[in-house]
Amino acid sequence: MRKTGNMENQRRSVTIRDVAETAGVSVSTVSRVLNGKVDVAKETKNHILSIIDDLGYSTNLAARSMRSQKKNLIGLIMPDIAYPFAIEVMKGVNRAIAESEFDLLVYTSGDVRKRGRVTSEQKYITLLAKSISDGVIVVAPVASEYNIDKPIVSIDPVMSHPNYPSVHATNYEGSRAAMEYLIGLGHKRIGFINGRTELESANRRLSGYRDALKKNGIPIKEELIASGDYTTETGVKCGRQLLSLKNRPTAIFASNDQMAMGVYQVAEEMGLRIPEDFSLVGFDNISESKYLGLTTVDQFISEQGYGAMQMLIQIINEVPLEKQTLKVQTQLVVRSSCREYHES
Amino acid sequence: MRKTGNMENQRRSVTIRDVAETAGVSVSTVSRVLNGKVDVAKETKNHILSIIDDLGYSTNLAARSMRSQKKNLIGLIMPDIAYPFAIEVMKGVNRAIAESEFDLLVYTSGDVRKRGRVTSEQKYITLLAKSISDGVIVVAPVASEYNIDKPIVSIDPVMSHPNYPSVHATNYEGSRAAMEYLIGLGHKRIGFINGRTELESANRRLSGYRDALKKNGIPIKEELIASGDYTTETGVKCGRQLLSLKNRPTAIFASNDQMAMGVYQVAEEMGLRIPEDFSLVGFDNISESKYLGLTTVDQFISEQGYGAMQMLIQIINEVPLEKQTLKVQTQLVVRSSCREYHES
DNA sequence: GTGAAAGCGCTAACAT
DNA sequence: ATGTTAGCGCTTTCAC
């Protein structure tokens, strides 16, 4: 039954040829059945189908991808799959995928550092895009241009004006909103914990912080700006740094919720209460912060994933995009009101 | 610079041939450089490398996969990517990936139903496995056998004794532990909310429930067993059902934490307090239940992902597996003690 | 050290 | 309705 050719001990898997030979038809007929073409006699088709079943044949993705255009596969490329932002994006993309005709292939090297070390982002994108998918979504890409002919949409790109469509939250506006809220409460000494400065999104949040102070005539004190990297650990570090200043800030605005969580921990350690002793606001709304009643700026990350997928599908179907940039609105979520503060 | 051949408007992407022609060498030489073979003159190599850089060439995964064995790619196949169990598995796999030489490709059709509808699980597994990866991890597979020659490891398989290595939690033991805890507290009327009965894991949890009652001489009342499907919604439904019995259970054990969350919501609605009015325990430990202080049975899902990946790597490297089944120990986590209860 | 040629498994254009 | 043929882009003998 199984054609073994020569005495190689390598187990070969069953190919379209095996099916064709067993069924006594040509390879192309099998291919036609496989691809649902109509011009195949019903009985031939059924015969082939049963042989396929018998042999447990299934198509070779690689081979197929080489020949045909449409692959019904979308690639999602992320540096790391296990951090909150990535997971939220995936949820959104996944939802769009479920509603679509496409399947999803998520690619990751598991770790930002490993990826950077081994080879460039460009390589992976091209790999997935040119080879086996109809288009790709890239999270936080660093390059401003990719020379592939496949559709590409990015989420939270590092560059402010990349040459590909992109999706991002209104980081500046959200940051402004948070600050206006705190300032409106009477705060004048507001600490800021910065995120990964290589990301445009982080810089926009910082700008929001600075501009809000400026517009309200509050002098910017560099000692109140701590630099973190979006992890809870640096949140702890920066929280300690800010809260142990002789002239402690009356409020802290963290550039993401993970770092806000860190500050929260420090506050507990130091016996400081929120909001009595100081106010705390965090960007993002994905971590435990919501269970702690923290005030946050929600950037609707999963909507960004969903939106990116929608854009991509449009491009693939050659529907012209109205805008190259999709802005997902941020929203200030006040859970437990922050402390009102007025200088004595 | 770009070879366009005929006047097709289809943009072709740059191939190994383009590189070869531009560099004035043969395709095979370029291939040698690409694959780090040693028998290439240093200057030829550098020349080709710079051309590759100029042209922005990157290899076609599909084509390469067709020819060579080792792909340094692991496939993870999941019916759906956006539910807590899946995410936890991914985290664990991701961690193992980050420590390894492999990259990860997660495949999903986004929705269990869609997947079942379009085509069989077998097809997707074979697709990924035979085509482009060195081995696959499958979450909650339904078939007990796969005819592929690539390594495969499953997590929480539906069958109790599949013909492939598998990883799962000690569901029965965990369930017993939770029940012994509740019974030890004096409870006699303990409600159970069942999960998806097609999963072996769910059945084991139910067995644990039944056996614990039996061993302790407590009669099993079928009215106390409600059937859910692991979603919060059915948790709500079953919670209502159990809590509105005339003879209300004094404790409820939900087959996963999502459903326990649902019961928690119902309790709030009905004005019932936990643990004063009744005790609540949930299997799993991944949802918000931990912030609500619920008692849970942790099944260490991400460890299951990590373990599966370790097993897979062993198989790929042809290290014999000691056991075909990896059992990850469950652990009862008592957050806020449940109510002690003694029949009057 | 390098090139020519075969062929991986498949699809699609062209025959019949 | 089915078979024949020509590649897709790549790796890998086997020559030279």
Q: Do A107 and B104 touch (CB under 8 A)?
A: yes
Distances (CA, A) of A264 to A85, A177, B6: 20, 21, 65
Q: Do B110 and A127 touch (CB under 8 A)?
A: no
Work out the minimum CA distance from A215 to partner chain B, whole angstroms: 39
Cβ of residue B44 lies below 7 Å from strand C: yes
**pLDDT tens, position by position, A53-100:** 888 888 888 888 888 777 788 999 888 888 889 989 999 999 998 888
Among B56, B61, B90, the residue with its CB nearest the CB of A82 is B90
For the segment B191-215, the average pLDDT, to the nearest whole number, is 95
Half-sphere exposure of A66 (CA within 13 A, CB side): 16
Say which range, A103-107, A169-173, A190-194, A310-314, has the weakest mean pLDDT.
Answer: A103-107
Residue A44 confidence (pLDDT) above 60: yes
For the segment B325-337, the average pLDDT, to the nearest whole number, is 91
Chain A residue with the nearest C-alpha to that of B12: A149
Residue B156 confidence (pLDDT) above 60: yes
Q: Which of B24, B41, B57 marks a domain boundary?
A: B57
Work out the minimum CA distance from A217 to partner chain B, whole angstroms: 40
CA-nearest of B190, B157, B159 to B175 is B190
Q: Which of A35, A57, A79 marks a domain boundary?
A: A57
Q: Do B108 and A107 touch (CB under 8 A)?
A: no
Residue A9 confidence (pLDDT) above 60: no
Residues of B in contact with A97 (CB under 8 A): 108-111
Q: Which of B4, B18, B65 to mutate to test the interface with A (most CBs of A within 10 A)?
A: B65
Could you tell me if residue B278 is inside a domain?
A: yes
Say which range, A12-21, A325-334, B4-13, B191-200, has the weakest mean pLDDT.
Answer: B4-13
- The position carrying tokens 């004794």 is B161
Task: Quickly give B24 CA vs C4 C1' distance in Å.
Answer: 15
Inter-chain contacts counted by CB atoms under 8 A, chains A and B: 146
Out of A136-140, B141-145, B337-341, give the one with best mean pLDDT: A136-140
Give me the phi and psi of A323, to 5 degrees please: -125, 145
Q: Which of A36, A57, A78 marks a domain boundary?
A: A57
pLDDT the model gives residue A1: 33
pLDDT the model gives residue A312: 94
Residue A228 confidence (pLDDT) above 90: yes
Could you tell me if residue A193 is inside a domain?
A: yes
pLDDT the model gives residue A240: 97
For the segment B41-70, the average pLDDT, to the nearest whole number, is 86
**pLDDT tens, position by position, B271-327:** 999 888 999 999 998 888 888 889 999 999 999 999 999 999 999 888 888 889 999
User: Would you tell me the crossing angle of helices B84-99 and B301-316 to the nearest 10 degrees?
Assistant: 40
- Helix/strand number for chain A, H first, E second: 12, 12
Confidence of residue A146 (pLDDT cuts 50, 70, 90): confident
Residue A138 confidence (pLDDT) above 50: yes
**pLDDT tens, position by position, A15-42:** 999 999 999 999 999 999 988 888 889 9
Residue A12 confidence (pLDDT) above 90: no
User: Cβ contacts of residue A44 below 8 Å, gap of 6+?
Assistant: A25, A29, A33
Helix (H) or strand (E) holding B8: none
Three-state DSSP class for residue A341 = coil
Residue B239 CA, chain-centre distance (Å), reads 27
Is A21 at the interface with chain B, CB within 8 A?
Answer: no
Q: Which residue has the higher pLDDT, B5 or B120?
A: B120
The range of the structural domain enclosing residue A30 comes to 1-57
Residues of A in contact with B135 (CB under 8 A): none
Cβ of residue A40 lies below 7 Å from strand C: no
Confidence of residue B2 (pLDDT cuts 50, 70, 90): very low
Say which range, A40-54, A139-153, B265-279, B315-329, has the weakest mean pLDDT.
Answer: A139-153
Could you tell me if residue A175 is inside a domain?
A: yes
Which CATH number goes with the domain that contains B15? 1.10.260.40
Task: Quickly give B39 CA vs C2 C1' distance in Å.
Answer: 9
For the segment B190-212, the average pLDDT, to the nearest whole number, is 95
Among B11, B98, B107, the residue with its CB nearest the CB of A105 is B107
- Rounded Cα distance between B80 and B121, Å, is 12
Taken in order B106, B110, B112, B116, is the CA torsion positive or negative?
A: negative
Could you tell me if residue A96 is inside a domain?
A: no
pLDDT the model gives residue B81: 84
Q: Which residue has the higher pLDDT, B244 or B116?
A: B244
pLDDT the model gives residue A343: 66
Q: Do B94 and A107 touch (CB under 8 A)?
A: no
For the segment A195-222, the average pLDDT, to the nearest whole number, is 95
For the segment A306-329, the average pLDDT, to the nearest whole number, is 92
pLDDT the model gives residue B250: 95
Residue A269 confidence (pLDDT) above 60: yes
Residue B114 confidence (pLDDT) above 70: no
pLDDT the model gives residue B287: 82
pLDDT the model gives residue B219: 96
Which CATH number goes with the domain that contains A229? 3.40.50.2300
**pLDDT tens, position by position, B93-107:** 999 988 888 888 888
Cβ of residue B39 lies below 7 Å from strand C: yes
Could you tell me if residue A236 is inside a domain?
A: yes
Q: Do A66 and B59 touch (CB under 8 A)?
A: no
- The radius of gyration of chain B's CA atoms, rounded to the nearest angstrom, is 27
Cβ of residue A63 lies below 7 Å from strand C: yes
Work out the minimum CA distance from A301 to partner chain B, whole angstroms: 14
Could you tell me if residue B317 is inside a domain?
A: no
pLDDT the model gives residue A304: 97
* Percentage of chain B lying above the pLDDT 90 cut: 56
Out of A59-68, A111-120, A143-152, A197-206, give the one with best mean pLDDT: A197-206
Q: Tell me the pTM.
A: 0.83
Q: Which residue has the higher pLDDT, B200 or B208?
A: B208
Mean of pLDDT over chain A = 87
For the segment B40-46, the average pLDDT, to the nearest whole number, is 91
Cβ of residue B13 lies below 7 Å from strand D: yes
Residues of A in contact with B132 (CB under 8 A): 61-62, 132
Q: Are A194 and A237 in contact (CB under 8 A)?
A: no
Closest nucleotide (CA of B18 to C1')?
Answer: D9
Residue B226 CA, chain-centre distance (Å), reads 25
DSSP conformation letters of A229-289: -SSHHHHHHHHHHHHTSSS--SEEEESSHHHHHHHHHHHHHHT--TTTT-EEEEE---SGG
Could you tell me if residue B222 is inside a domain?
A: yes
Cβ of residue A148 lies below 7 Å from strand D: no
Provide the domain count of chain B: 2
Q: Flag residues 31-70 of B with CB < 7 Å from strand D.
A: 31-32, 34-35, 59-60, 63-64, 66-69
**pLDDT tens, position by position, A283-301:** 998 888 888 889 999 999 9
Token output for B307: 């373990």
Residue B3 confidence (pLDDT) above 70: no
Task: Quickly give B284 CA vs D3 C1' distance in Å.
Answer: 58
* Percentage of chain A lying above the pLDDT 90 cut: 56
Chain D bases closer than 7 angstroms to a protein Cβ: 1-5, 7-13
Q: Do B56 and A147 touch (CB under 8 A)?
A: yes
Residue A10 confidence (pLDDT) above 50: no
Residues 36-65 of chain A with CB under 8 A from chain B are 56, 58-63, 65
- Rounded Cα distance between A252 and A238, Å, is 10
For the segment B128-150, the average pLDDT, to the nearest whole number, is 81
**pLDDT tens, position by position, A187-197:** 999 999 999 99
User: Would you tell me the crossing angle of helices A171-184 and A200-215 to the nearest 10 degrees?
Assistant: 30
- The position carrying tokens 């079943």 is A53
pLDDT the model gives residue B123: 67
Peptide bond into B157 cis (omega under 30): no
pLDDT the model gives residue B343: 66
pLDDT the model gives residue B120: 58
For the segment A177-202, the average pLDDT, to the nearest whole number, is 95
Task: Quickly give B306 CA vs C6 C1' distance in Å.
Answer: 42
Could you tell me if residue A344 is inside a domain?
A: no
